[in-house]
Structure 1
Amino acid sequence: MRVQHHSMTELTPTPNDCPLPRRRSDFATFNEAIDYAARSEKGLNFYDPRAALERVYPFSEMREDALENARRLIAMGVKKDDRIALIAETSPEFTAMFCACVYAGAWPVPLPLPTTFGGKDSYIEQLGVQLSSSDPKMLLYPAEIGEMASVAAKNQGCTGMDWDEFSALEAPRIDLPEADPEDICYLQYSSGSTRFPTGVAVTHRALLHNLYGHATTMDIGKDDRGVSWLPFYHDMGLVGCFLSMIGNQVSADYLKTEHFARRPLAWLDLISRNKGNSMSYSPTFGYDICARRISSQSHVADRFDLSRWRLAGNGADMIRPDVMQQFVNAFADAGFKASAFTPSYGLAEATLAVTVMPPGEGIRVELVEEERLSGSPRDLSRPARYRAIVNCGKPLPDMDVVIRGETEDLKGDHLIGKVWCRGPSVMHSYFRDEAATEECLIGGWLDTGDMGYMANGYLFIVGRAKDMIIINGKNHWPQDIEWAVEQLPGFNHGDIAAFSIETDTGEEAPAVLVHCRVSDPEERIKLRNQISDKVRAVTGMTCVVELIPPRTLPRTSSGKLSRAKAKKLYLSGEIAPLELAA
């Protein structure tokens, strides 16, 4: 018999179940939720790139660290409603600091890590814009990015410290403030433009109501376990995969986002290993990359056991049923069930979820004529083209969802219009942006700007807010791409239009139309490459660049650029790109 010797340091992840009765986020404040979760044996577990367990972090330990950090913050002069910017790395330090801010009555503001693309300067600039908008007292960050983060903090005039420097400070015994359900709990910059960001202010009441809605709709219960690689600055990663774990007392396993990008199948290794009823969410591209990666390998059943993946959540971008089917085909032998797919619809302005598909119903689609989706009249001389629209589920408890027309008239079933919602988890406001708040919060209703229709109590989403470009689950504002090109010499505001197009492979890609005043074909090629490089440096995306004659881009009656019309004219061939050198 072979004897296995376990070292004294071998780590055991926190359990799926424990004697403490589960409460589905029925707390008055998030402070109470942290306190209650800390009475359980459950917690958060952090893994290395190969899905080996690196750190076990029970909720009880997280709470102790958070309380100590809260006293440090107050000792440094942090007051109620001050903002504390936190670089949202997937780490115990971030989770404890987020909770510390809540205990101290300050508002945590999760901000992104630098990505592998772009440069040091563009990251410092991005941080600077978000720091300027949130006006924090401090910026706290991991030591590895200290050089960039400290420059951003200095530029903004706020205190900058890494986790280690902060934890070395004194933590005197200080009374912590009482939280009120109507207090702001945190500020979210999930989908905001890097140039014109708007921080979504979320109250304790709104957060807990949304977490209660998750738990109730998804029937979170015994033996459920969270698994996530989503970044903590994104609303799905922060609310769905971190705060929900605390509010509903669920153990969770985490991979860093950059580790998932390099080794996506480590995500499925984690789901296979810890034998709970897994709940794990991803935009469509996460499922896509796993299906592509596994296609070159066999013996799926030998490596993975996905039979207990109870909720395979899908959201954050348009859900593509063909990709979901490819994932089912790739992993059916490993026990994955198509009925585990749980489509949803949400946005940071509603804390997170607005609608969720009831567990077990899977992905259901309706075929809709493309002319109906765009609102254009049907061309009877051409065969009808259909698009598969995914059912995004039913509204959360106490969430009202309606469809309104251009004049805010209510639409009946199967009639396309703008999606509006109302309920306790709708945001308080955009931070320090009264005009933007008044534009989308009207009489208690949130105008999401997204297009969709209702059918038998279910919501179908057909398009996105205004001109938002979403690539691989990440939102990009066209203004940011246009602004990047404007930084090059020879371009003026209004010379550029950015939007997304569908490529030959069915994938979405950003396209940029640019007024060109250069006549030499060789010089045009250089210019196109220069534009492409600039957009990649700023956004990380490879885009389709088309040079077009000056004064070609269409304008609205008020003189503003019409991206929707530019896209339509480009796709129809009415805007013809200039010739380049052969």
Structure 2
Amino acid sequence: MSSSCPAYLSDAKTLIDVIEFRRRHNPDKIYFTLYHEEKSVTFAELGRQVDQYAWNFRQRGLKKGDRMVIMLPTCKEFFFAFFGAQRIGVIPAPIFPNSPPPRVAGIVKDSGAAAIFGTTWMFGETIKAAIEDVPGIQVIDVAEMESVEIPEGYDFGDVELDGDHLAFLQYTSGSTGASKGVMLSHKNLLTNVRAIVERVQLSPDDVGVSWLPLYHDMGLIGFVMSTLYCAVRLILLPPDLRNIRTWLEAVTRYKGNFIAAPDFGFRLCNRNIDDTEGLDLSSVRAAYSGAEPIRAATIRAFQQKFNVGNIFVPAYGLAETSVCATAMYINRDIIEDENGFICVGPP
């Protein structure tokens, strides 16, 4: 394992183990910043809120093994709810928050969800329509999470989790049929995260800048979990950016080292950013590209337009492998086939 992948976390069995380590050893370090809101959350605050949410979920009768659908945009509450559920062994199932009622209903039924968590003022009508024929399911609103304060010193010691416990249900896009829930254990996720960290050589000194959605594996596992593991600061932008230049402005402002996008994200930069004045990507040393065929023309145009070197890490993944099935190592020359597509490396 590379030296950038912390040896002292090699014994972590669950994502909750990682959070506990970070809140003890890096309490004051900023974990993530919401770019448009200028709001930051430290590892200490993450741990406190995860416990607060876990306690509130428990007070509502949720228990180890229950499933909970999460419908939230990119926001701090997503982190608290997702990891708060895991804290007590509840299995979260994050989905696109603007999903139509039939898709939500299908996932609720398929997962056997005991609850839906979200913002009812934003998605209330969708949730109401989706659960009309699902008796007994709870609807929990973000606004309720501070209603019951966790007792001081409460440590959830009665919740036993290990690497084989389900961490979350990752639903496929459903582009070729009904969405399917992939059951991912903590061991699945940490194994994949460690591989990503090794390929990209992440370290606590890095800064990641992402506009990838949190309900999608590339954003959730590839960015949220890998940066958590290595205590990388994460700068988050909303996935519905009106101007792709905002992403690169954030990279410039925070001197981002780690970025990622499907090929179309880099193509948007090539096509839609006419004036590169004020943009400085010299800090970027790793640019993950995946989720669709990767074009050599896209990479070369981006390198030339934004004056970056050999930063691309081509990758291929699918939900059934957590996120990353194979990827090139950082600082390797790209390999192009006769059709202009890029090799994504060894498994």
TM-score by length of 1: 0.55
User: Is 1:70–2:50 an aligned residue pair?
Assistant: no
Deviation at 1:170, TM superposition (A): 5.3
Tell me how far apart the structure 1 counterparts of residues 333 and 73 of structure 2 sit (CA, whole Å): 32
Tell me how far apart the structure 2 counterparts of residues 201 and 76 of structure 1 sit (CA, whole Å): 24
Q: Aligned residue for 1:366?
A: 337
Tell me how far apart the structure 1 counterparts of residues 72 and 223 of structure 2 sit (CA, whole Å): 13
Counterpart mapping for 1:471-486 below 5 A: none
User: Is 1:227–2:209 an aligned residue pair?
Assistant: yes
Describe the SS at the equivalent of 2:286.
strand
Tell me how far apart the structure 2 counterparts of residues 111 and 26 of structure 1 sit (CA, whole Å): 30
Match of residue 44, structure 1, among 11, 18, 32:
32
> Compared with structure 1, are the counterparts of its residues 22 and 208 closer, same or farther at alpha carbon in structure 2 (3 Å cutoff)?
same
> Compared with structure 1, are the counterparts of its residues 343 and 174 closer, same or farther at alpha carbon in structure 2 (3 Å cutoff)?
closer
Tell me how far apart the structure 2 counterparts of residues 342 and 216 of structure 1 sit (CA, whole Å): 12
Match of residue 327, structure 1, among 302, 310, 329:
302
Deviation at 1:32, TM superposition (A): 0.5
> Compared with structure 1, are the counterparts of its residues 25 and 211 closer, same or farther at alpha carbon in structure 2 (3 Å cutoff)?
farther
Deviation at 1:167, TM superposition (A): 3.3
> Compared with structure 1, are the counterparts of its residues 187 and 70 closer, same or farther at alpha carbon in structure 2 (3 Å cutoff)?
same
Q: Aligned residue for 1:146?
A: 124
Tell me how far apart the structure 2 counterparts of residues 88 and 326 of structure 1 sit (CA, whole Å): 35
Tell me how far apart the structure 1 counterparts of residues 106 and 175 of structure 2 sit (CA, whole Å): 10
Contact 2:65/2:91 (8 A) holds in 1: yes
Q: Aligned residue for 1:308?
A: 283
What is the total number of aligned residue pairs between the two structures?
A: 334
Tell me how far apart the structure 1 counterparts of residues 12 and 90 of structure 2 sit (CA, whole Å): 19
User: Is 1:187–2:158 an aligned residue pair?
Assistant: no
Describe the SS at the equivalent of 1:303.
coil
Match of residue 95, structure 2, among 96, 100, 111:
111
User: Is 1:318–2:293 an aligned residue pair?
Assistant: yes
Match of residue 291, structure 1, among 261, 270, 277:
270
> Compared with structure 1, are the counterparts of its residues 26 and 42 closer, same or farther at alpha carbon in structure 2 (3 Å cutoff)?
farther
User: Is 1:132–2:109 an aligned residue pair?
Assistant: yes
Deviation at 1:107, TM superposition (A): 0.5
Contact 1:66/1:99 (8 A) holds in 2: yes
Contact 2:203/2:231 (8 A) holds in 1: no
Contact 2:172/2:180 (8 A) holds in 1: no
Q: Aligned residue for 1:351?
A: 322
Counterpart mapping for 1:201-240 below 5 A: 201-240=183-222
For residues 51-106 of structure 1, what are the alpha-carbon distances to aligned partners after superposition, in whole Å with 9 as ceiling and x for unaligned? xx521011210111111111111121111110011114111000011010110101
Q: Aligned residue for 1:32?
A: 17
Tell me how far apart the structure 1 counterparts of residues 174 and 161 of structure 2 sit (CA, whole Å): 27
Would you identify which runs of 4 or more consecutive aligned residues in structure 1 move more than 3 Å?
21-26, 169-176, 190-195
Unaligned runs of 5+ in 1: 1-20, 116-122, 368-386, 396-582
Contact 1:340/1:362 (8 A) holds in 2: no
Tell me how far apart the structure 1 counterparts of residues 155 and 329 of structure 2 sit (CA, whole Å): 45
Deviation at 1:42, TM superposition (A): 3.3
Match of residue 142, structure 2, among 142, 163, 182:
163
For residues 312-356 of structure 1, what are the alpha-carbon distances to aligned partners after superposition, in whole Å with 9 as ceiling and x for unaligned? 110001111222222223212xxx22x101101111111111211
Which amino acid in structure 1 is aligned with residue 182 of structure 2? V
Tell me how far apart the structure 1 counterparts of residues 315 and 9 of structure 2 sit (CA, whole Å): 19
Counterpart mapping for 1:497-536 below 5 A: none
Describe the SS at the equivalent of 1:270.
helix
Tell me how far apart the structure 1 counterparts of residues 47 and 164 of structure 2 sit (CA, whole Å): 22
> Compared with structure 1, are the counterparts of its residues 178 and 65 closer, same or farther at alpha carbon in structure 2 (3 Å cutoff)?
same
Describe the SS at the equivalent of 2:124.
helix
Tell me how far apart the structure 1 counterparts of residues 247 and 131 of structure 2 sit (CA, whole Å): 34
Tell me how far apart the structure 2 counterparts of residues 211 and 257 of structure 1 sit (CA, whole Å): 22
> Compared with structure 1, are the counterparts of its residues 25 and 235 closer, same or farther at alpha carbon in structure 2 (3 Å cutoff)?
farther
Which amino acid in structure 1 is aligned with residue 341 of structure 2? I
Which amino acid in structure 1 is aligned with residue 134 of structure 2? Q
For residues 286-330 of structure 1, what are the alpha-carbon distances to aligned partners after superposition, in whole Å with 9 as ceiling and x for unaligned? 1111111113x3xx2x31110111111100011112222222232
Describe the SS at the equivalent of 1:233.
coil
Match of residue 391, structure 1, among 325, 328, 343:
343
For residues 128-167 of structure 1, what are the alpha-carbon distances to aligned partners after superposition, in whole Å with 9 as ceiling and x for unaligned? 1111111211111123222322332444331112211343
Deviation at 1:282, TM superposition (A): 0.3
Describe the SS at the equivalent of 2:315.
strand
Contact 1:29/1:204 (8 A) holds in 2: yes
Tell me how far apart the structure 2 counterparts of residues 215 and 54 of structure 1 sit (CA, whole Å): 27
Match of residue 261, structure 2, among 282, 287, 292:
282
Which amino acid in structure 2 is aligned with residue 309 of structure 1? V
Q: Aligned residue for 1:447?
A: none
Match of residue 101, structure 1, among 85, 95, 99:
85
> Which structure has the highest strand share of the two?
1
Larger RCO of the pair (alpha carbons < 8 Å, separation 6+): 2
Deviation at 1:22, TM superposition (A): 7.3
Contact 1:88/1:112 (8 A) holds in 2: yes
Contact 2:172/2:179 (8 A) holds in 1: no
Counterpart mapping for 1:235-254 below 5 A: 235-254=217-236
Deviation at 1:191, TM superposition (A): 3.3
Contact 1:126/1:194 (8 A) holds in 2: no
Tell me how far apart the structure 1 counterparts of residues 255 and 291 of structure 2 sit (CA, whole Å): 27
Tell me how far apart the structure 2 counterparts of residues 355 and 190 of structure 1 sit (CA, whole Å): 19
Which structure has the larger Rg over C-alpha atoms? 1
Further displaced range: 143-152 or 158-167: 143-152
Which amino acid in structure 2 is aligned with residue 125 of structure 1? P
